[in-house]
Structure 1
Amino acid sequence: MKPAATARVAGLLFFLVLLLALPSLRVSMAGSGFCDGKCAVRCSKASRHDDCLKYCGICCATCNCVPSGTAGNKDECPCYRDMTTGHGNRTRPKCP
């Protein structure tokens, strides 16, 4: 194989690996400072602060967004709004 063709194949393989890795990079970025900061604001007035941070973090990592403010505004993030606990017939919102 010619050096130019080898370089093209290597570039294509690199691009494909990068494309496949993007979803996991987005989740890891969401789980880092982005989610921590957004959930700190969201849970700042919660009576059960630790539980709020835990569930907000789970929801943020899944949805890649957190509604603004300390309550309400869930229409800004439909994924966050629609997540439920899923316990039998008594489902409740999972995300604070």
Structure 2
Amino acid sequence: MAVMTRVLIIASLLLVLSLHLLHVVQADDQLESTNAQNTLPKTIDCGSACATRCQLSKRPRLCKRACGSCCFRCQCVPPGTSGNTDVCPCYATMTTHGNRLKCP
């Protein structure tokens, strides 16, 4: 009888320890995913990105001004001098008060 009691106690302790270990591992996974989500957003040099984007524009100062405000809000500028808006959806969907596309 004493042997059976000891076996039950040891089995119970092993169960509690394994549940505690599982809890610790899950807490660590949640902490890692939270830290990954809370990383600071990358910032880009809007001046040079917009200068590249607007280099072929017929109205480069207007283009750079509009691009600059879009870049500041979205923190991205599509590559190239036009198009490629799928790379930066925020930039591609921003509109003026007249519902025209704001970003060049």
Match of residue 94 from structure 1? 102
Q: Could you tell me the percent identity over the aligned residues?
A: 50
Calculate the aligned-residue CA RMSD, in Å: 1.6
Q: Distance in 2 between matches of 1:62 and 1:52?
A: 16
Q: In structure 2, what is the Cα distance between the partners aligned to 1:48 and 1:74? A: 20
The match for 2:80 among 64, 69, 72 is 69
Q: Which residue pairs with 1:46 in the alignment?
A: 57
Query: Does 2:76 match 1:84?
Result: no
What stretches of structure 2 of length at least 5 have no aligned partner?
A: 1-37
Q: 1:37 aligns with which of 48, 70, 76?
A: 48
Gaps of 5+ in 1: 1-18
Q: TM-score, normalised by structure 2?
A: 0.58
Task: Say which one has the larger Rg.
Answer: 2
Superposition TM-score, scaled by structure 1 size: 0.63
How many corresponding residue pairs? 66
CA distance in 2, matches of 1:51, 1:75: 23
**Which structure 1 residue ranges, 4+ long, deviate > 6 Å from structure 2?**
none
